[in-house]
Amino acid sequence: MALLLTDDSVFLHIPKTGGTWVSRVLRESDLMCFRFSHKHADMERVLHYGRHYPWQCFRRSLKAGPLLNRRIARSFKFCIVRHPESWYRSFFKYMTSLDWKRHSGPGGDEWHPYSEMYDLVAEDFDGFIEQLVRKHPGFLTRMYRSYTEPGVDFIGRQECLTQDLIDVLNLRGLEFDTDKVVRRKKENVSPELRTRKELPADLKSALLETEAEAYRLYGYGSLADELNPAADGRVNSVKSEAHVAVTTSTE
């Protein structure tokens, strides 16, 4: 579920981005007030918590006070994203390990941020991407936008997860043990497939084109950068303005 922290910040957990580890660190650091909404609640389900989960919101409000919805709406919000191809690989591994079992939310809620992809059952990753670019082009761009718009204040990245979490907690002036965060072992990692190979050039290009906006918006370079990673270090270092400028701009 989304997390309300002690300073009224809200962490939105995008699936397959290290959010389970982030949630555990926040809880172990005594920075978490409580969980609310759906585990992977997007911005709509955070800003309009009471509309989507009225009974759960009512029960939370009994403890948190009648202005809970207003507190959440006005809160500082942050989330974590991941390199698009890496995200799709993780998703494919995870769903394969579950034999493509569907998820449900609170009270049997059928909504899930990646529910539209349940029809992409494939034997291998190449086949999965081939279906993806044909049936659901730009899916990840849309999903990321559903978490970052409108009003997210900080976007970290899975590739530098530990440091980005430390940065946002320091930005908020929260007290925590940096050494414990650094030492905290990552968890909920999908099992490796028996074989891992690079995507064929045509599928890689198709994926890059359909997710070009995600690469640009979240600091993973451009289509040219990804096709020619030696040209500069942007893709590997994922250093960009994404999680710096977002504290003052939510374009």
Torsion of Cα atoms, 131 then 195 then 16 then 204, to 10°: -40
Note the CATH architecture for domain 2-245: 3-Layer(aba) Sandwich (3.40)
Stated length of the chain: 251
pLDDT band at 231 (very low <50, low <70, confident <90, very high): very low
Q: Is the dihedral of CA 172, 175, 181, 187 positive or negative?
A: negative
The DSSP bridge pattern shows strands 2-5 and 32-36 to be antiparallel
User: What is the rounded distance in angstroms from the CA atom of residue 71 to the CA atom of residue 81?
Assistant: 24
pTM of the model as a whole: 0.84
In this model, does residue 194 exceed pLDDT 60? no
d(CA 90, CA 82): 10
Question: Rounded to whole angstroms, how far apart are CA atoms 4 and 34?
Answer: 6
Across 28-32, 35-39, 129-133, 151-155, least confident range: 35-39
* pLDDT tens by residue, 168-179: 999 999 999 999
pLDDT exceeds 90 at position 66: no
